[in-house]
Amino acid sequence: MKSRTSRPEGLPPVRPRSAAHRRFLLPALVLPALLLLASCGPAPENPDARDERRPAFRKAVRAREAGRTEESIALLRTALRKHPDMARAHLELARIFHEQRSDYARAIHHYRRYLEQRPEAQKKPLVENWIETARADFVREMMRSEAAPPVIEKLKVLERENRALKARLARGEAPAEDNAPPERGTLSRSGPEKESARPSPKSARKKRTYVVRGGDTLSRIAARVYGDAAQWRLIYEANRDRMKSERDLQIGQVLTLPPPDE
């Protein structure tokens, strides 16, 4: 007689697992393991970090750190012509114009170009704060400048350019090469803007003076005072007795402003 292993009373009999049960159990065990492995993979690369590794960008940063600001600006503009999607270059240009050139209109332009290309950037709140700071600095500078063009008009120029940029991006077109505003005080020489910046004949006959500020050059002073940067030589000729060269400007220096050429 065959011996039979007795089971405690009350327990259900053990049934062999079916093939269907095994087919269900295997994916249930494997899927969590695959998800765990996927979560341990490399995180998506930060677009700004990718831009910062590009040789052209790194060369521009080295030039800025060495004090060669103009070279850095030229390198960044060249990089943007070759790689229009290099948004980090716009942010670098914005910081240079804001902090080192005090050219707030151009700084705002490049801050906004960066946000247009990187709307989800982690830096977005910081960049928006920089824009507000640059706008306040810009208005303050315009209010201090005796013969500056109206602040509202220049801000309208910036707004029109940004609306045009948004429209191009919405249509899927590549951004323009670099439609940044002109240098401070050098808005278009045609139309009413030129007329508002140029003194009247009566006021031109009066002897005027100008106190040199940080970042000033003769061409910038001429653009601010006459509305025409090309008239810088007039200022130089009127002040040759106190200037060794056209670049010999000191903060606080008082310059004589002759009447402009008509």
pLDDT in tens, 200-244: 444 445 568 888 887 788 888 888 888 787 888 889 888 888 888
Check residue 140 and give its pLDDT: 79
Give the whole-angstrom CA distance, residue 23 versus residue 27: 7
User: What tokens appear for 221 in the block?
Assistant: 């002073």
Per-residue pLDDT tens over the stretch 183-200? 554 444 444 444 444 544
Task: Spell out the CATH class of 198-257.
Answer: alpha beta
In 3-state terms the chain splits into helix, strand, coil percentages (rounded to 5) of 55, 5, 40
What predicted TM-score, i.e. pTM, was given to this entire model? 0.47
pLDDT (0 to 100) of residue 219: 84
- What percent of the chain stands above pLDDT 70? 61
Question: pLDDT digits over 38-86, tens only?
Answer: 555 555 678 899 999 999 999 999 999 999 999 999 999 999 999 999 9
Residues 6+ apart with CB under 8 A from 196: 149, 150, 227
The CA distance from 109 to 96, in Å, is 12
Q: Which pLDDT value is given to residue 94? A: 94
At residue 211, the pLDDT reads 85
Fold topology of 48-170: 1.25.40
**Residues of each domain in the chain carrying CATH 3.10.350.10:** 198-257
Long-range pairs, 196-199, Cβ under 8 A, ≥24: 196/149, 196/150, 196/227, 197/147, 197/148, 197/149, 197/226, 197/227, 197/228, 198/226, 198/227, 198/228, 198/260, 199/147, 199/225, 199/226, 199/259, 199/260
Angstrom distances, CA of residue 43 to CA of 32, 162, 166, 215: 19, 33, 30, 43
